[in-house]
Amino acid sequence: MTNASGPTATGQLEAVVFDVNETLTDLTPLKEVFTDIGLDRSLLRWWFAVLLRDGFALAASGDPAKFSELALTALYEVGVDGGHTLPEGAGELLLAAFAKVPLHPDVSPSLDKLHAAGVRAFALTNGSAAPARQILEAGGVLDSFAEVLSVDDVGHWKPRSEAYELAIAVAGVAPSRLAMVAVHPWDLHGASCAGFSTGWVNREQRSYPGVFRSPTVQSHDLVGVVERLLSLEHPVR
């Protein structure tokens, strides 16, 4: 069992890197799309899990993974395995809706807290940068981010180290001055291995997997995570 968490010592947090899908965005409206294409609403979680599974497999083998392609193949798998025939254009309908999902209501106030503290915010997504920017702009927070980064620029999904190294390079600071915030424990584990402090947004009040490095801080919402990260002292390495 791995329990080591990210670094905490003396110094100043300079930037926070946010995961996008599910951390900043609320995928709940996609359930309506599943209904529209003849699938049970509950299959949304299965679909997203299949999407992640295949992306992780490609990352582990060193192959590039494109989010939109994985989304379509995952939808086909979920539909076929469930004995459904998907209507024409089902995949395109889902991708279009995915690019318009809303932000969680705690996104804006958490970014305001970082801005007030003089800490930069970055977004790092396993999807493409353009739709992520579109969602953040629609939510009125795009200007709060110094950069919106995509793993497309390094060719490998998180939690591969290359993704976090991209954030380190763009931020231009030591990883010990960075924090990663996500709802996904696998993402935080990868960031912790890269030297980041980590903040777990435990929206669904779940237990944290014991096989991963423990998060540095956690809270049920983004505001709580940001407040706890800002209260930490971060070392200069």
- pLDDT tens column, 158-201: 999 999 999 999 999 999 999 999 999 999 999 999 999 999 99
Residue type for position 56: F
Q: Where residue 211 sits, what CATH number does that domain have?
A: 3.40.50.1000
In a domain, 9, yes or no: no
- Mean pLDDT value across residues 12-25: 97
Nearest CA among 164, 144, 140, 145 for reference residue 154: 164
**Same domain, residue pair 169 and 114:** yes
**Same domain, residue pair 45 and 71:** yes
Whole-number average pLDDT of the chain: 93
**Same domain, residue pair 113 and 85:** no
**Same domain, residue pair 131 and 198:** yes
**Same domain, residue pair 80 and 19:** no
Domain count, the chain: 2
In a domain, 47, yes or no: yes
Q: Where residue 37 sits, what CATH number does that domain have?
A: 1.10.150.240
- The parent domain of residue 63 ranges over 30-98
**Same domain, residue pair 173 and 139:** yes
**Same domain, residue pair 220 and 145:** yes
Could you tell me which residues come within 8 angstroms of residue 122 by beta carbon, excluding any fewer than 6 positions away?
A: 15, 16, 17, 18, 145, 146, 147, 148, 149, 167, 170, 171
Tell which of 98, 133, 156 closes a domain: 98
**What confidence score (pLDDT) does residue 142 get?**
99
pLDDT surpassing 80 at residue 3: no
**Same domain, residue pair 186 and 223:** yes
Q: Is 174 helix (H, G, I), strand (E, B) or coil?
A: coil
